[in-house]
Amino acid sequence: MNEYSQILKGVLEGIVLMIIKRKETYGYEIVQTFNKNSGFTICEGTIYPLLIRSEKNNWITTTMKKSELGPMRKYYSVTNEGLEKINKFKQNFENINELVNKIWEE
C-alpha cells in the first residue's frame, strides 16, 4: 500500500459521509462518485465496512428502495449525529492541514 493509500484510509470515513450528505445515495453510487472525483480507485468492499460502522454509530440511516435496474437497493442518508461527525471531521482535517502547511513552510 502506498503513502497516498495510507493517508486516504484515515480520511475515507469523513469523505463517505460528505458524499452521502450531498444526497441520499447507495453504495455503488458512493464508489462511483468517489472514484470520479478523486482520481483514485476504491472498490465497494472498501466502502461497505465504513457504511456498516457509520450506521451502527447512528451517523447514517438506511432505506430500501426499488431499483429501476433490478433488486432493491439500500439508500443511505446522513443523520444529525452524522452532520456533527462531518463538522468534527472537517475541523480536524483543517487543523491537520494547517499544521502540515506550517511545518512545510518552515
**CATH label, 12-105, candidates 3.30.300.30, 3.60.40.10, 1.10.10.10, 1.10.10.1100:** 1.10.10.10
Q: What is the pLDDT of residues 12-62, one digit of tens each?
A: 999 999 999 999 999 999 999 999 988 788 888 989 999 999 999 999 999
Q: Judge whether 17 and 3 are in contact, CB under 8 Å.
A: no
Residues 31, 47: Cα–Cα separation, whole Å? 7
Residue-level pLDDT at 38: 84
pTM over 0.75: yes
In the block, residue with C-alpha cell 475515507: 12
Q: Compute the distance between CA of residue 9 and CA of residue 102 in angstroms, rounded to an integer.
A: 23
Angle (CA) 73-76-80 rounded to 5° is 160
